[in-house]
């Protein structure tokens, strides 16, 4: 198999698989007990929170909460956030985002009669219209929900600038970093966002969600929990085996940094993680340039999003394409039959695909590169794409003798 399906969920290293199995074998117990396996389980959970704080660049593991996935966490936390809002308050979402950072806000706002406003995109390069963002942000705005990077077309938003503009009107900023986290080093403190959420299965871990919330903001929120629960935003017994895998995933990225990055032997885990993500970023974008060069050489292929190589710092190595004469679904199936995994459709970036006029056309074919892909795999994909593209073209009519 050749895995270009990373934006839907990455493959995991052996160390993650082993960490999950080791938890079951050696410390499988509920929290808060006085016996050895429960104490070991509690220690592992604490270390998992600390590791994810290092990945996010958070200063305090207490600002990290785990949940089932990004969408479920957002559905939960949005309820608490909206409970602080009044009848004239507004929430701003964007037309570039995954529905996981749109639908929960629409649902919560609907329950309380709040207004939702949506920031437009520029369909030419699939970027946010920042002038429209300024028009949407007003004194009534209480929350801006925005993605750090688009899971469909790879656009990286200028999140620090966006956060600054939202904070200027007194709004909180809730950032979906699911697609950003596997590709670029995160620094939530530098970004200044109030909330940042990701899913560990998108950065080489198990199916689990992780949320950073700025402590001063978290303390102001009501929590929907049962009385005995100690954590205000982790309801019920946690997925401890998943947290063991999340810890191992962060350690894996740190090990990439120690092996391929520029860090000393005494580097902290955070320093090693940043070095690992920088090494990953450099490798992936070189591979992505090879992919784009090949795609543009194939007749009938259109790439959506930022295509200017001078602006590749503004995108992830995720390509959304269409091939003339072949539906995205048909092409994805043809590639899949050859052992090449891609995705097709809208990937829950429903508003974006609608804005591009592709909702009734099958969406796009998504090719997501990660650092475990190789140049040979890219070449294999390009050869298959061209072959299926040529096969789909109508043959010229026979000329009379």
* CB-count exposure of residue 394 (10 Å: 0-12, 13-18, 19+): exposed
Report the SS3 class of residue 175.
strand
Specify the 3-state DSSP secondary structure of 239: coil
Contacts of 82 (CB under 8 A, 6+ apart): 91, 105, 108, 109, 111, 112, 114, 143
**Residue of 262, 269, 264, 233 lying closest to 248 (CA atoms):** 269
CATH of the domain at 281: 3.90.1150.10
Q: Which domain holds residue 223?
A: 14-253
Number of domains in the chain: 2
Domain assignment present for 113: yes
Residues 146 and 293 in one domain: no
Tell me whether residue 300 is in a domain.
Answer: yes
Q: Residues 35, 65: one domain?
A: yes
Pair (363, 243) in one structural domain: no
Domain stop point among 210, 225, 253: 253
- Specify whether 98 is located in the same domain as 231: yes
Same domain, 38 and 146: yes
Looking at the fold, whether 30 and 141 belong to one and the same domain comes out as: yes
- Residue 394 has a pLDDT of 60
Tell me the whole-structure pTM to 2 decimals.
Answer: 0.96
The pLDDT, as a whole number, for residue 330 is 97
- Residue that finishes a domain, picked among 253, 286, 316: 253
Same domain, 319 and 238: no
- pLDDT number for residue 235: 86
Strand-pair category, 195-199 with 364-368: unpaired
Nearest to residue 183, comparing CAs of 10, 375, 341?
Answer: 10
Predicted local distance difference test score (pLDDT) of residue 228: 81
Is 369 within a domain? yes
Tell me the C-alpha distance between 277 and 150, whole Å: 18
Is residue 263 one of the residues assigned to a domain? no
Cα-Cα-Cα-Cα dihedral of 351, 128, 325, 366, to 10°?
-80
Q: Is 105 helix (H, G, I), strand (E, B) or coil?
A: helix
Which own/partner contact pairs does 220-227 have at CB distance under 8 Å and 24+ positions apart? Answer: 220/84, 221/77, 221/80, 221/81, 221/83, 221/84, 222/80, 222/83, 222/84, 223/80, 224/76, 224/79, 224/80
Taking 70 as the pLDDT cut, the residues of the chain under it are 391-401
Residue 259: inside a domain:
no
> Last residue of some domain: 253, 279, 303?
253
For residues 240 and 358, membership in a common domain is answered with: no
Same domain, residue pair 373 and 326? yes
pLDDT score for 227 = 81
Could you tell me if residue 400 is inside a domain? no
- 155: CATH: 3.40.640.10
The pLDDT score that the predictor gives to residue 226 is 80
Helix (H) or strand (E) holding 199: strand 195-199
Neighbouring residues of 355: CB distance < 8 A, sequence distance ≥ 6: 95, 120, 121, 123
Q: What is the pLDDT of residue 232?
A: 86
The total of other beta-carbon atoms located within 10 Å of residue 400's CB is: 4
Q: What string of DSSP letters covers 32-61?
A: T-SSHHHHHHHHHHHHHHHHHHHHHT-S-G
CB-side exposure of 156: number of CA atoms within 13 Å? 18
- Domain assignment present for 258: no
Is there a single domain that holds both residue 223 and residue 278?
no
Residue 397 lies in a domain: no
Interatomic CA distance for residues 245 and 250, integer angstroms: 9
Question: Do 369 and 325 reside in the same domain of the chain?
Answer: yes
Widest Cα–Cα separation across the chain = 92
Same domain, 31 and 180: yes
């Amino acid at each position: 198999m050749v895995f270009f399906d990373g934006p839907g969920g990455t493959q995991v290293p052996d160390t993650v698989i082993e960490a999950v199995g080791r938890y079951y074998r050696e410390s499988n117990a509920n929290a808060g007990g006085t016996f050895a396996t429960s104490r070991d389980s509690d220690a592992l959970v604490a270390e998992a929170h600390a590791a994810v704080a290092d990945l996010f660049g958070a200063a305090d593991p207490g600002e990290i909460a785990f949940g089932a996935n990004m969408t479920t966490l957002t559905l939960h936390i949005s309820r608490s956030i909206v409970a602080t809002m009044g009848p004239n308050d507004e929430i701003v979402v964007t037309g570039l985002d995954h529905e996981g950072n749109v639908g929960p806000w629409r649902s919560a706002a609907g329950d309380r009669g709040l207004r939702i406003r949506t920031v437009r995109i520029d369909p030419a390069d699939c970027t946010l219209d920042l002038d429209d963002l300024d028009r949407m942000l007003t004194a009534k705005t209480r929350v801006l929900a925005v993605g750090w990077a688009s899971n469909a077309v790879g656009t990286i938003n200028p999140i620090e600038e966006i956060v600054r503009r939202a904070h200027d009107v007194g709004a909180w900023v809730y950032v979906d970093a699911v697609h950003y986290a596997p590709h670029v080093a995160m620094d939530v403190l530098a970004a200044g966002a109030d909330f940042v959420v990701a899913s560990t299965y998108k950065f080489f871990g198990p199916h689990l969600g992780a949320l950073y919330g700025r402590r001063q903001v978290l303390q102001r929120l009501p929590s929907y929990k049962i009385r005995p629960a100690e954590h205000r935003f982790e309801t019920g017994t946690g997925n401890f085996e998943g947290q063991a895998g999340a810890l191992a995933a962060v350690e894996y990225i740190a090990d990439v940094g120690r092996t391929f990055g520029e860090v000393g032997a005494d580097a902290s885990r955070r320093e090693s993680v940043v070095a690992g993500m920088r090494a990953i970023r450099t490798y992936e974008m070189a591979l992505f340039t090879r992919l784009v060069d090949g795609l543009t050489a194939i007749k009938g292929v259109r790439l959506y999003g930022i295509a200017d190589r001078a602006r590749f710092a503004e995108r992830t190595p995720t390509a959304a394409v269409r091939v003339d004469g072949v539906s995205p679904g048909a092409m994805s199936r043809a590639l899949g039959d050859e052992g090449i995994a891609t995705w097709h459709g809208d990937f829950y970036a429903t508003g974006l695909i609608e804005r591009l006029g592709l909702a009734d056309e099958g969406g796009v074919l998504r090719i997501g590169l990660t650092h475990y892909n190789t140049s040979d795999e890219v070449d294999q994909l390009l050869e298959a794409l061209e072959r299926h593209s040529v096969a789909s073209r109508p043959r010229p009519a026979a000329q009379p003798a």
